[in-house]
Amino acid sequence: MSISRRTAIAVRTIGVASAAAALALGVAGNAFACNISEFSAQASCDNGKGSIDVTNKDYSNTLVNITVSQGQTQVGHQENLTGTRQGVTVNFPVAWSPSTTYTVTVVKASGQKVGTTDVTTPETACKVDTPTTPATDTPTTDTPSDTPTTPATETPSTAPSDTPTATPSTSGAAAVDDTNAPSPAAGGTTDLAETGGGSNTGMIAGVAGALVVVGGGAVYGLRRRTAGARH
């Protein structure tokens, strides 16, 4: 009986100590289950839209509420958030200014405060990205060397040279058909025949021959007289 009582007392003592240790470990585990060191924040800018991004790496499945403020002004708040070992990022849209400090406050959903962390925005403002227009090369319109050229067209003459021009007569008389026809001889009234001779050709030839004979006789007589005078 005494041995049994001793054994029972020992077992009871061990049980109480184990329970106390487990309770202490549980309290300590809960104390370190959600720590502010597991939260980080940074400022980001996406094409003119600024935000404060908070990453939660607490994997104890603890529900927390996160508040972002600038000075005494609250600029963002979200509740009942949980994290993972790899981290869960929550974005708080903020139109932040350069070199501005924001405070991130983490509180458990039960109301227990986890802690705070600060983030300072970059020195450059969050601006809209202006796309640059690339310079466009103007294609050159080079005419290939084998392109046939259009030959020059000759303008026809409006007045051909072989077309007779009708010249109106100012005297009202009829135009002469043959301009090369011989004029009638002075003093004659008869036109020349087709052979070129007129009706007075024989008489003119006879008179000319008589004049030649008379002239020759006169020259002969003068020569004889000159010779006789010399003798």
pLDDT score of 193: 43
Alpha-carbon span 99 to 185, nearest angstrom: 131
pLDDT score of 135: 62
Phi/psi of residue 156, each to 5°? -65, 145
> To the nearest whole number, what is the mean pLDDT of the chain?
74
Amino acid sitting at position 230: R
Phi/psi of residue 24, each to 5°? -65, -40
In this prediction, residues 70-94 reach a mean pLDDT of 96
Concatenate the DSSP letters of all residues of 163-205 into one string: SPP----SS-PPPPS-TTPPPPPTT--SPPPTTS--TTHHHHH
Alpha-carbon span 221 to 214, nearest angstrom: 11
Which of these ranges, 19-23, 112-116, 200-204, has the smallest mean pLDDT? 19-23
Indicate if the alpha-carbon torsion angle 121, 123, 128, 133 is positive or negative.
Answer: negative
C-alpha closest to that of 104 among 55, 57, 56, 66: 66
Question: Confidence class of residue 172 from pLDDT cuts 50, 70 and 90?
Answer: very low
In this prediction, residues 83-87 reach a mean pLDDT of 95
Q: What percent of the chain is modeled with pLDDT above 70?
A: 54
pLDDT score of 187: 47
Q: Are strands 64-70 and 49-56 parallel, antiparallel or unpaired?
A: unpaired
Strands (E), 57-181: 64-70, 73-81, 88-93, 101-108, 113-120
Question: Confidence class of residue 185 from pLDDT cuts 50, 70 and 90?
Answer: very low
pLDDT in tens, 4-38: 666 666 656 665 455 554 444 444 444 457 999 99
Q: What angle do CA 207, 212, 214 make, to 5 degrees?
A: 95
Alpha-carbon span 222 to 106, nearest angstrom: 171
Are the CB atoms for 66 and 83 separated by under 8 Å? no
Question: Confidence class of residue 111 from pLDDT cuts 50, 70 and 90?
Answer: very high
Could you tell me the end-to-end alpha-carbon distance of the chain, in angstroms, rounded to an integer?
231
pLDDT in tens, 123-166: 999 988 877 666 666 666 555 555 555 655 555 555 545 544 54
Amino acid sitting at position 227: A
pLDDT score of 208: 83
